[in-house]
Amino acid sequence: MAKRIYFLTDNEKFYKEIEAEFEYFNGFAKSQKQKSIKSFHEAIKKQYPDKKILEISTKSENLGTQFSAFNLTLDGYSVECIFQSAKVFKDKNKEYSFKEILYEDKSLDSKNCIKEFLENHKTAKLSHFEYENKRYELEPKSSFYDFIYIQALMQSKDAEKLVEYDIFTDIEFNQKKQINCQARSCAIYVSLVKNKKVDYYMSSFENFKKIYNQKEPSLFD
């Protein structure tokens, strides 16, 4: 059995994070992941039988796979690539941008490049993000990730299909180990669209951060 968080869109709140317990099928094969997704969704259906659920990951069906951060693009680059390359680390008062830690071995993807850097710099910590010559702080948690993800959705001609769903999951997301989640980003986006708040909150990062000002952020503050 496993416990995972799912994200419910809400008319008064941007989203709700709710935990469900379900049978988890071990293994890296896509078929095993899809068994776990089915089990996860069945557990959610017991709580919300009338809600439509969509898995957002490369292990999902066509629509959910399309909106995986590895496939969803912003200005021609995947959200995952933008997020990883925006990381700036600090080690002994020196900052290292992604470009500075990019190794000559081009076979390394962004995650493995950073992993190798951290293995060689044991005291390095993530300091902030830099994207398009702007600095983004680590707090509020997940805000930078959600912001660029929703920007990418705004460029997608198929994003309107997400509004048909009420609940979003990501079978790869473990709330005990990770912070950012593409399912959360989708839930925020759908709530903004349904409440006609996209233009206001996405007009600037300062406005967007207001979403995280309280434990249960309200659309009507």
Domain range summary for the chain, segments of one domain joined by +:
2-75+141-212, 77-136
Residue 16 reports pLDDT greater than 80? yes
Instruction: Give the pairing of strands 16-22 and 167-169.
Output: unpaired
Nearest to 4 by CA among 185, 16, 17, 31: 17
Residue 22 reports pLDDT greater than 60? yes
Residue 38 reports pLDDT greater than 90? yes
**pLDDT at position 208, please?**
97
Higher pLDDT, 118 or 158: 158
Residue 104 reports pLDDT greater than 50? no
Segment 170-175 mean pLDDT: 95
Q: Token pair of 83, please?
A: 């997020």
With beta carbons less than 8 A apart as the criterion, state whether 187 and 55 touch. Answer: no
- Average confidence score pLDDT of the chain: 91
With beta carbons less than 8 A apart as the criterion, state whether 25 and 32 touch. Answer: yes
Q: Could you read off the pLDDT of 175-191 as tens digits, one per residue?
A: 999 999 999 999 999 99
